[in-house]
């Protein structure tokens, strides 16, 4: 049986994949799906796709677009989560910089360059009228690295999904001083180079099955909330709020207008040198 290797971050967005692979839902297609968590976020996922270590990944839309705009041969398949991502703006719990205006010229902890945590730092800076340079970024690898870096003042700001970090805020590790929602759909499914050219119909079928599990999660909110609380350590209140705000599509779809807008924004922020047509992304 063929193995299809999927990667993603350890966040409840990926529950449809996890539920489907746990129930071996793809066996009738002659495919076994595995799922691997990547602590390093979209930057690490893009690297794994490029190296052929995984076949598919749920990547932040801006991260996937930027990677391809910089020459990566990965390709986007379809929207995975169509609701915006709610990025929390975090500082160390005891930091004196307790509002966004005081963070100008401070250092951002990012999972790696090319990740959403870096790209959204530019979005935040643009909104605040700041200018960023490379010396303001400290690569920490993910949440665990930020937990170490912020209290030691190696970095001062950490952008990450606000519900995932909520337990750390409640524990007094981070203070959340604001939010910045992504101005576009959160996630796309990305494929390693060449995969869609050879196996698009199979990938379409696999993702259609996964979306069936997404619909089931929404249809049975109480059991889904139980899963989120158990697997991700969220409070029931946060889990419920998160579930009410997330939107998975029901079909594989590509909105080229959305992708064109993301490309234009990344060019404006200086993350891509020149615009890439949406047709070249998918």
What is the rounded distance in angstroms from the CA atom of residue 223 to the CA atom of residue 241? 14
Q: Torsion over CA of 207, 226, 36 and 115, rounded to 10 degrees? A: 90
- Give the HSE-up count for residue 168: Cα atoms under 13 Å, Cβ half-sphere: 26
Cα separation, 51 vs 139, in Å, equals 21
pLDDT at residue number 17:
95
Closest listed residue to residue 190, CA positions, set 172, 207, 170: 207
Q: Which two tokens stand for residue 92?
A: 């160390």
pLDDT at 268: 85
* Nearest Cα to Cα of residue 213 among 250, 164, 253: 250
Contact of 13 with 187, CB cutoff 8 Å: yes
pLDDT score for 246: 96
Question: What gap in Å lies between CA 155 and CA 137, rounded to an integer?
Answer: 8
Residues near 187 by beta carbon (within 8 Å), at least 6 away in sequence: 13, 58, 59, 60, 61, 79, 80, 81, 85
Position 102 scores a pLDDT of: 86
Buried b (16+ CB within 10 A) or exposed e, 78-89: bbbbbebbbbbb
Residue 145 in 3-state DSSP? helix
Query: b vs e for 24-47, b when ≥16 Cβ sit within 10 Å of the residue's Cβ?
Result: ebbeeeebebebeebebbbbbbbb
Task: Quote the pTM value.
Answer: 0.89
Q: Where are the alpha helices (DSSP H) in the chain?
A: 15-22, 41-51, 61-69, 116-128, 143-149, 166-170, 195-219, 221-232, 236-245, 256-268
Q: How far is CA 257 from CA 48, 261, 263, in A?
A: 28, 6, 10
Give me the domains of the chain, ranges plus CATH numbers.
Answer: 2-84+185-280 (3.40.190.10), 86-181 (3.40.190.10)
Give the chain's residues under pLDDT 70.
Answer: none
Residue 191 CA to residue 241 CA, distance in Å, equals: 30
């Amino acid at each position: 049986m063929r193995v299809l290797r999927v990667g993603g971050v350890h966040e409840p967005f990926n529950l449809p994949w996890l539920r489907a692979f746990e129930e071996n839902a793809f066996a009738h297609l002659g495919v076994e799906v595995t799922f691997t968590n990547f602590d390093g976020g979209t930057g690490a996922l893009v690297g794994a796709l490029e190296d052929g270590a995984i076949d598919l990944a749920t990547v932040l839309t801006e991260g996937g677009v930027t990677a391809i705009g910089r020459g990566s041969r990965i390709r986007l398949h379809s929207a995975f989560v169509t609701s915006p991502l709610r990025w929390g703006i975090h500082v160390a719990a005891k930091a004196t910089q307790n509002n966004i205006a005081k963070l100008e010229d401070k250092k951002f902890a990012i999972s790696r360059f090319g990740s959403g945590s870096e790209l959204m730092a530019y979005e935040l800076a643009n909104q605040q009228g700041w200018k960023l340079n490379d010396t303001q970024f400290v690569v920490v690898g993910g949440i665990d690295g930020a937990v170490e870096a912020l209290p030691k003042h190696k970095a001062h700001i950490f952008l990450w999904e606000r519900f995932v970090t909520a337990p750390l805020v409640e524990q007094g590790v981070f203070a959340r001083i604001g939010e910045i929602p992504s101005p576009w759909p959160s996630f796309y499914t990305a494929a390693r180079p060449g995969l869609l050219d050879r196996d698009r119909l199979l990938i379409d079928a696999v993702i259609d099955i996964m979306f069936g599990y997404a619909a089931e999660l929404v249809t049975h909110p109480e059991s889904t909330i139980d899963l989120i609380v158990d697997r991700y350590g969220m409070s029931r209140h946060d889990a419920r709020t998160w579930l009410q705000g997330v939107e998975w599509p029901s079909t594989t779809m590509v909105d080229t207008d959305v992708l064109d807008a993301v490309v234009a924004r990344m060019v404006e922020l200086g993350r891509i040198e020149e615009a890439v047509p949406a047709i070249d992304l998918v």
